Each structure stands twice: as structure tokens, then as C-alpha cells.
Amino acid sequence: MLKMISQVEPNISNEDVQNVTEYMSSGSWITEHKVTEKLEENVASYVNRKYSVAVPNGTIAIYLGLLASGIKEGYKVAVPNITMIATINAIIWAGAQPVIIDTDNSLCMSLESLNSVSDIDAVIFVPLNGRTGSGIEIQDYCKKNDIILIEDSAHALGSSYLNQKCGSLGNISILSFTPHKIITMGQGGMVLLDDDDVYQNLIDLKTFNREKDKSDVHKGFGLNFKITDLQAALGLSQFNKLEEFIDIKKKLHNEYSKFIDGKYLKQFEDIETPWFIDLYCDDQKQREELKLYLSSKNIETRYSYPSLSSQSYLQGTKKAKLSYSEEISDSILWLPSSTNLTNEDIKFVSNEVNNFFNN
């Protein structure tokens, strides 16, 4: 019987269990308080941002980031054609109009394509899979053209641009902490930023827009987007292992590179942290066959995101010319990429990938 190899799974240690248990035994109120504050401080300091605001998930983080920046109905927000659906849905939820932009061969937003559309008010740049693409150039472009830049860094905590960490690009960055992210707390998200006014807007939106903390007098409309210290206890414990996880992810890619031909395995820069190991097939049909073949060997894989422009409900969305992203998105397969994988697992998966391509 072949061992089941998952595409990804959370990496929870005894230490994590102990930290959460200790928190539960501490008599605290479980809801958001000091442990969340500590997690916020640690992450903000790691990515070099002034503020960090924990929220229930990455989707809400993008949504609140847009609202707090004043993006609403009548505003146009550029989004790359290859990303998880949350990125564009948060724009739609905020009432703004998404404009889909092509990607370059880093699979991140193409600056050339962005430049081809006019009247953009905000851009969401996604360091997809931990790759940073033209992030810095797009940051310069947005600054020069007075465009708000939001970095959807859901995949990229631990990855870096040339002189700055993912989580620090543009006006606002967001993170996600679902079980397949580099660190997890089950669900969870974070907004990272430097601007005092936008920070205050975020806090108002997140905490019922109270006149002052704990008062029941409200300056205006606001909701409840708090998390719990119970989650943050796990988040903090995981954050303390971030460097270890970054190291494992980089070694994982190096190990795969020893066995799988570079024409199939997409590369990373040294300062980038691979989130998932992505394999390029010739086309959609070959990808489907490879997925089936690996599945017969108990190896779980996942198709990379279909392009946004292929989703039926987004057919009416404004778009740039999408020549690169539409085709490439159908040929990428994500191999097992969990930090729990052993070198034997990687060798086994790689051998099966090679068996498929060589026959």
C-alpha cells in the first residue's frame, strides 16, 4: 500500500499544542486581547510596517483595506488575472469596479499590461506563490501616478523583494493564515500599513466605530471583525517558527530541482520563499493526465488557479488584453509542497513525475 502524500497540510508541533493549552488554562477571556496584540506587533516588526490589524481572514483583510483607503463605488481597481478568487471578490464586495490585468512570466501582474489601462484608482499586486515579479516597479508606478497600491501577500509571508519584505509593498499589505499558508491559525488575516488615518479607519470599521474603546456610543457605522486570542496563541506559536518554515520551503524546492528537469519546474529567486512547487505542463490535457497518473500513486496535487477571465460570473468585467495569463494558467500543476514532506517523499514524487514525462 502506497503512502498518501498530501498536496499540503498544516505543520502543528507539540509546542504549538502546549502553547494553545497554556493559553486556555490561563483564565483569559479567549476573545481578542493581549495575545493578538503581541502577534500584531511581531508581524508588523518583521515586515517593517508601523501598524498591523488582525482580522478573521485574508478576504476580509482586502475588503477592509479597500474601504479604509476610501475605495468604493465608482472606483476602478486593477487585479491580476491569476490569483485566488478572494482578491477580485473583495473588490466587488467593496462596491468598486475590478479591471483584470495580464500577468508576466513571473505569474504576477504585468507592468506593461497595467500601463495599457487608464483611470485606475487602486492596484492589488499579488506576489503569487511567493514570487515577487515586477512588484517594486509597480510600486514606483503607483507612487508616480498617485494610485493606491494594496499588496495581497496571502502567499508571501517570508518572501522578499530586492530591498523589502513581502508585507511591506505599497500603501497596504494583507496576509492570510489558513491551514495551507506558511503559518496558520486555522483561519485569520492581517492588514499591514503605515498611514495613521487609514489605520484609524480600519479600527473603526473593525470595532463597531466606537466613540472610545469599550463605550457604547458610536461615531458611525461599524461592524465586528475581531479575532480571538485563542487563535492568536496558535498564530504566535507558529510565527516563532517562521524562519524554520522558510528554510524548509526553500530546501523543498532545491530538493525537487535535483530530480525534475528545469523545463518543467518553475524557478524562484534566492530571496523568494516558494509557497507551492509549481510544475509547467505542455497544455491542459497533459496536466490532467499527469494529475490522474500521480493520483494513482497516492500523490495529491492541485491545479493552479484558473484565470479570473475564465470564470463565468466575471465575463462582463473590464479587462486588459490577457494574452499570457489565459493560456499559462491552464497548464500549471501544484506538486506536494508541505513543510512536513521528507526527502524520500520528494524523491518518490519526482521519480513519478519523471516516469510520466519520460513515457
* Residue closer to ligand PLP, measured from CB, 54 or 279: 54
Cα–Cα distance, 240 to 355 (Å, whole number): 39
* Residue closer to ligand PLP, measured from CB, 298 or 317: 317
Cα–Cα distance, 232 to 133 (Å, whole number): 31
Q: What's the closest the beta carbon of residue 63 comes to ligand PLP, in angstroms? A: 10
Tell me which residues touch ligand PLP (CB under 6 A).
57-59, 83-84, 86-87, 126, 152, 154-155, 176, 178, 189
Characterize the bridge pairing of strands 332-335 and 122-125. Answer: unpaired
Q: What's the closest the beta carbon of residue 155 comes to ligand PLP, in angstroms? A: 6
* Residue closer to ligand PLP, measured from CB, 126 or 335: 126
Indicate if the alpha-carbon torsion angle 247, 248, 250, 254 is positive or negative.
positive
* Residue closer to ligand PLP, measured from CB, 306 or 357: 306
* Residue closer to ligand PLP, measured from CB, 8 or 260: 8
DSSP structure string for 295-317: HHTTB--EEPPPPGGGSGGGTTS
* Cell 494553545 belongs to residue: 20
CB 130 within 8 A of CB 156: yes
Q: What's the closest the beta carbon of residue 234 comes to ligand PLP, in angstroms? A: 15
* Residue number, nearest CB to ligand PLP: 58
Q: What's the closest the beta carbon of residue 79 comes to ligand PLP, in angstroms? A: 10
Q: What's the closest the beta carbon of residue 341 comes to ligand PLP, in angstroms? A: 20
DSSP structure string for 30-53: SBSSHHHHHHHHHHHHHHT-SEEE
* Residue closer to ligand PLP, measured from CB, 7 or 176: 176
CB 269 within 8 A of CB 129: no
* Cell 503512502 belongs to residue: 3
Q: What's the closest the beta carbon of residue 206 comes to ligand PLP, in angstroms? A: 15
